Amino acid sequence: MQRSDFPKDFRWGCSTSSYQIEGGIHEGGRSESIWDRFANTPGCVKEGHTGEVACDHYHRWPEDFDIAKQLGVNAYRFSIAWPRIFDYSKSSSPNVAGLDFYDRLVDGMLARGLEPWATLYHWDLPQHLQDQGGWANRTTVEAFVNYTDAITRRLGDRIQHWITHNEPWCTAFLGNKEGCHAPGLKDFKVALQVSHHLLLSHGLAIPVIRQNSPNAKVGAALSLHPLSPASASAEDLAATLRHDGLRNRWFLDPLYGRGYPQDIVKVLGNLAPTVLEGDLKAIAEPTDFLGVNYYFPEIVAHAPGQGVMQLTVVEPEHVERTGFNWQVAPDGLVRLLSRVVKDYAPAHIFITENGSTYDDVVLADGSIHDSQRTSFLQRHLAAVLETVKSDLPVRGYFAWSLLDNFEWAEGYLKRFGLTHVDFQTQKRRLKASGEWYRDFLQGK
Ligand code: FCB
């Protein structure tokens, strides 16, 4: 497999997100985010880690973009920290220092030939909005649209690729049902209302983006999973369909104009979200691409008594796994993309995230031989190539992640970077996987 096997205009990138790398949480007039609050709540994040310093990207971004340039990627996906753009406790106007920061960042990307792909929401909600109910409160939708307006007015001339939300499933359910992500709530009904408001804010933000950034391509990035039943029994098949209904279809169906899947609405009963007239039409606002974040497949079994959904995810034995215990299944990506194209026919698909964590060892000479990550990357790129060859409209691949970073509830214990970060010294070292990606991209 070589780079030249892929289309010429294929986007080759890597991804990051604001809270996971920036640090500088008290600088440039940034306000508190729900992740600051959550990480500082004892017991929420492993080892009590927080994003206070993270990769110190707020100060070290020139070095980080130099690394990306050396990798040879032509696109860079990052996210904007909403709390840098608004401090609602002080003012309803955007914070100029925050806008200036991203202005410099984008110019820094462009100067190095990195096409900026901006995500507007990668989980760091201003705490001030959470204090008023967060995404469960419909006024947050309006606030998101205003924030989108402020940022796209300032950067819409230089950013041509906008992603509204990153993995709304995670925001809604990890944050508000499981409680293992910020804001740490455990309320299924709230989580479902949150999911609706996330989708609505996506739809309502699109015309604003198009207005301020006339040539822009817009989409959302979903975490999608190929699913299979634990057995051929009718119960397991039905459970798999239910799981698919909440994990995949709950977001894909309304985005592609079908409203919420009725089989799931029925299962949810009075937990289903309040949907006002016009909401579904707004959510179905046409997009230019679908961002797919792919990590692992799931096997599903019927489980009577297991909550409203009555199902469980089964972990098979003897399968290859990453350091997160996630199954390694490049073929799952082919299965997933084929299904998405068959059922929803998005114009273009970009793999906006894909990557792996392993226990990296830094040798005495500073090298990191992360052969498992290299193999993961190679096999997933081969899967992407297979989809391209079968004419699926896959137009780019963004590796997660450029740098080791703050891995949410796992703190700094899980490393996904192509570049190793020593969090004591902030020294960056390209791992062997990063060297492989670089050589691949340079056609070596
Ligand atoms: C995804 C998130 C991303 C990162 C990877 C490992 O769910 O979007 O921020 O944490 O997982």
What percentage of residues in the chain have a pLDDT greater than 70? Answer: 100
Q: What DSSP state is assigned to residue 4?
A: G
**Which residue among 55, 225, 408 is best mutated to probe the pocket of ligand 1, counting the most ligand atoms within 8 A of its Cβ?**
408
Closest ligand 1 atom to 416 CA: 6
**Which residue among 407, 410, 413, 418 is best mutated to probe the pocket of ligand 1, counting the most ligand atoms within 8 A of its Cβ?**
407
Q: What is the pTM of this model?
A: 0.99
CA neighbor of 237 nearest in space, from 299, 191, 149, 291: 299
CA neighbor of 152 nearest in space, from 197, 195, 207: 207
Distance in angstroms (rounded) separating the CA atoms of residues 383 and 228: 19
pLDDT mean across residues, the chain:
98
Confidence of residue 33 (pLDDT cuts 50, 70, 90): very high
- End-to-end, the C-alpha distance of the chain in Å comes to 11
Pocket of ligand 1 (CB under 6 A): 17, 20, 166-167, 170, 223, 293, 353, 400, 407-408, 416
Supply 268's token pair.
Answer: 């949810």
Report phi then psi at 122, rounded to 5. -120, 55
Closest ligand 1 atom to 223 CA: 7
**Which residue among 16, 163, 400 is best mutated to probe the pocket of ligand 1, counting the most ligand atoms within 8 A of its Cβ?**
400
Q: What is the pLDDT of residue 348?
A: 98
Q: What is the pLDDT of residue 82?
A: 99
Cα of 352 to ligand 1 centre, how many Å? Answer: 10
Q: In the predicted model, is pLDDT for residue 6 greater than 90?
A: yes
Q: What is the pLDDT of residue 85?
A: 99
Distance in angstroms (rounded) separating the CA atoms of residues 256 and 218: 14
Closest ligand 1 atom to 20 CA: 9
Q: In the predicted model, is pLDDT for residue 226 greater than 90?
A: yes
Q: Which residues contact 305 (CB under 8 A, 6 or more apart)?
A: none
Q: In the predicted model, is pLDDT for residue 444 greater than 90?
A: no
pLDDT tens-digit map of 337-350: 999 999 999 999 99
Q: Contact 402/16 with Cβ under 8 angstroms? A: yes
CA neighbor of 361 nearest in space, from 429, 439, 438: 429
Closest ligand 1 atom to 221 CA: 8
Nearest CA to ligand 1 atom 5: 400
Neighbours of 435 (CB within 10 A): 18
Q: Which residues contact 332 (CB under 8 A, 6 or more apart)?
A: 225, 226, 294, 296, 297
Cα of 174 to ligand 1 centre, how many Å? Answer: 12
Cα of 269 to ligand 1 centre, how many Å? Answer: 31
- Which of the residues are catalytic? 167, 353
Q: What is the pLDDT of residue 5?
A: 98
Nearest CA to ligand 1 atom 10: 407
Give the ranges where 312-369 is alpha helix by DSSP (H). 330-344
Q: In the predicted model, is pLDDT for residue 49 greater than 90?
A: yes
Cα of 304 to ligand 1 centre, how many Å? Answer: 31
Q: Which long-range contacts (CB under 8 A, 24 or more apart) does 135-143 make?
A: 135/171, 135/172, 135/176, 135/193, 135/194, 135/197, 135/198, 136/176, 136/190, 136/193, 136/194, 136/197, 137/197, 138/197, 140/197, 140/201, 141/197, 141/200, 141/201, 141/204, 143/86, 143/88
As a whole number, mean pLDDT of residues 175-194 equals 98
